[in-house]
Amino acid sequence: MRLETLNSCSPADASAQLTPCVDIPRWVNAIVDARPFSSEADLISFAEKAAHPWTEAEIDGALAHHPRIGERASGSTTEATMSRGEQAGVSTAVETQTALLEGNRAYEEKFGRVFLIRAAGRSADDILAALDERLHHTPEQELGIIAGQLREIAILRLKGVLAA
């Protein structure tokens, strides 16, 4: 969807295009309501700050749509397709998958939510190192990190939507 299309389409169509970027309605609505944008750079700049800060409930709702790192999202939704592309660089080696499985389990036991990291552009070793480091954080530290990672993912996906 090009910027011109996003600027001129109905609010419902704009929301449908933005929701797979991050399913936080307040973020989506803020962008839809702020249209038209004069440039993609203006849209991205606005989106980086929209609906900030996200609430813990919004973060948990958005995480419900994210597969565990190392698991491939199933289905044919836009969000599942985006997730598969983002995790394309994650190794499928048995050792890596085992380490991710164990790390995901430890993270979920400690924090009560799925481990989230912007996987695009990161190697499996980078992701595993980040996972290990983040297991030593407090829940408050992790919530801030997750919010930042969600925002990074949303912006990367938004750029992808604009390029489509």
- Nearest Cα to Cα of residue 36 among 8, 12, 11: 8
Six token digits for residue 88:
């394309």
Helix (H, G, I), strand (E, B) or coil at 11: helix
**CA geometry: angle 62, 123, 56, nearest 5 deg:** 20
Choosing among 3.90.1150.10, 1.20.20.10, 1.10.3330.10, 1.10.600.10, the CATH entry for 3-163 is 1.10.3330.10
Six token digits for residue 98:
């085992």
Q: Tell me the one-letter amino acid at 5.
A: T
pLDDT tens, 41-72? 999 999 999 999 999 999 999 998 778 876 66
Question: What are the sequence ranges of the domains in the chain?
Answer: 3-163
Six token digits for residue 5:
């299309």
Six token digits for residue 163:
């390029």
SS3 of 32-94? HHHCCCCCHHHHHHHHHHCCCCCCHHHHHHHHCCCCCCCCCCCCCCHHHHHHHHHCCCCCCCH
pTM of the shown model: 0.84
Helix 139-163, helix 78-86: angle, nearest 10: 110
- What sign does the dihedral 20-29-148-2 (CA atoms) show? positive
pLDDT in tens, the chain (164 residues): 899 999 999 999 999 999 999 999 999 999 999 999 999 999 999 999 999 999 999 999 999 877 887 666 555 666 655 554 555 555 567 788 888 889 999 999 999 999 999 988 888 889 999 999 999 999 999 999 999 999 999 999 999 999 98
Q: Which residue has the tokens 């408050």?
A: 140
**What does the DSSP 8-state code read for residue 137?**
S
Q: How far is residue 121 CA from its own chain's centroid?
A: 14
